[in-house]
């Protein structure tokens, strides 16, 4: 795709638009679950935690009648409730069932896959070393799938040295789905070096969308002085895209909306990269392009590094 925008001031700006970018299949599914729940039950439909980490998306669903809460006890008796795409501890749906709440699980199926892997490793008698970011909703949800004391969270390769398991301990590792591919490989290598017997998943836990978006940034960033990533500050996969750009030698900046762009960022910039985290809708990409075109003459080149055709099934309650 090549598109020319009206010239304004300064030298022409080459804009490399990463593809894939933006919404993934898990995010599409989660948003559709809330929208279909609103159609089926009528407003309000309660959502525990942000359905996805994007203010624009959340505000749009609020306008349609979704009510976002942090804990289940904020949901009135008899009201429908949706669990976010990041997943929840087992205790949450159990509590919802105890209260006879009509609940829908919007957990990304790739996150649910990690949950099932965790259960199987515990059943096999292994202790799990989980690679992830402390406090992230996905990590909280995964830790809550297995009994306390059967899983240990680490974040970096340095944490591996502090593990106090016996050299021959029965161990397995799993990972958060939205991590840096390169950082995670480093941690896994450290685990395998220290505990050669450790068991890992047959396929990489980092989801296809996270891997694809990082690979796309690796392709465009070396040609750019600046890479803009549209995403929320609490979005793990978006923050990883900024880090990838920086490691490739470009200046990486996270923005949520086009109005955050500072014209001074474009000083001395001949080529700029643009991508979006998995929770950011395409209209925000166009908003940024439009904003940039008011500052410089812009030529957009879409750089495609992968095609994504993944689609996830909806919960049975919404398709019966």
Q: Which candidate in 70, 119, 123, 138 is catalytic? A: 138
Q: Which of these, 119, 97, 247, lies nearest to 239 by C-alpha position? A: 247
Sorted by sequence, the CB contacts under 8 Å of residue 144 that are 6+ apart come out as: 88, 89, 90, 91, 92
Helices (H), 135-281: 137-143, 157-161, 181-194, 208-220, 236-247
Secondary structure class of 174 (helix, strand, coil): strand
- What is the rounded CA–CA span in Å between residue 97 and residue 34? 19
Q: At what angle do helices 55-64 and 25-41 cross, to 10 degrees?
A: 20
Measured in degrees and rounded to the nearest 5, phi and psi for residue 70 equal -95, -35
138 carries an active-site annotation: yes
- What is the rounded CA–CA span in Å between residue 91 and residue 137? 14
Would you call 165 exposed, middle or buried from its count of C-beta atoms within 10 A (0-12, 13-18, 19+)? middle
- What is the rounded CA–CA span in Å between residue 245 and residue 237? 13
Q: 30-35: list long-range contacts, CB under 8 Å, 24+ apart.
A: 30/84, 30/85, 30/106, 30/108, 31/57, 31/61, 32/314, 33/82, 33/104, 33/106, 33/314, 33/315, 33/318, 34/61, 34/66, 34/82, 34/106, 35/61, 35/64
Gyration radius (Cα) of the chain, Å: 21
Which residues are catalytic, by number?
138
């Amino acid at each position: 795709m090549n598109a020319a925008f009206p010239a304004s001031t300064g030298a022409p700006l080459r804009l490399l638009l990463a593809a894939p970018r933006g919404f993934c299949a898990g995010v599409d599914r989660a948003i559709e679950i809330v929208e279909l729940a609103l159609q089926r039950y009528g407003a309000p439909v309660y959502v525990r935690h942000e359905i996805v980490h994007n203010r624009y998306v959340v505000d749009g669903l609020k306008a349609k009648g979704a009510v976002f809460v942090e804990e289940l006890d904020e949901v009135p008796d008899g009201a429908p409730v949706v669990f976010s795409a990041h997943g929840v501890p087992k205790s949450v749906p159990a509590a919802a069932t105890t209260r006879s709440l009509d609940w829908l699980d919007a957990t990304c199926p790739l996150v649910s896959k990690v949950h099932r892997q965790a259960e199987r490793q515990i059943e096999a008698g292994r202790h799990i070393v989980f690679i992830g970011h402390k406090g992230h909703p996905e990590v909280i949800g995964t830790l809550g799938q297995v009994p306390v004391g059967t899983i240990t969270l680490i974040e970096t390769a340095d944490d591996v040295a502090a593990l106090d398991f016996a050299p021959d301990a029965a161990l397995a590792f799993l990972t958060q789905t939205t991590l840096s591919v390169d950082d995670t490989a480093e941690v896994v290598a450290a685990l395998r070096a220290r505990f050669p017997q450790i068991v890992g998943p047959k396929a990489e836990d980092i989801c296809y969308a996270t891997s694809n978006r990082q690979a796309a940034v690796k392709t465009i960033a070396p040609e750019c002085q600046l890479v803009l990533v549209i995403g929320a500050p609490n979005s793990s996969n978006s923050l990883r895209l900024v880090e990838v750009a920086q490691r490739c030698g470009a200046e990486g900046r996270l923005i949520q909306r086009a109005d955050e762009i500072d014209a001074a960022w474009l000083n001395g910039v001949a080529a700029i990269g643009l991508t979006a985290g998995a929770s950011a809708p395409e209209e925000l990409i166009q908003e940024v392009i439009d904003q940039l075109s008011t500052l410089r003459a812009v030529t957009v080149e879409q750089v495609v590094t992968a095609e994504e055709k993944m689609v996830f099934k909806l919960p049975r309650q919404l398709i019966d």
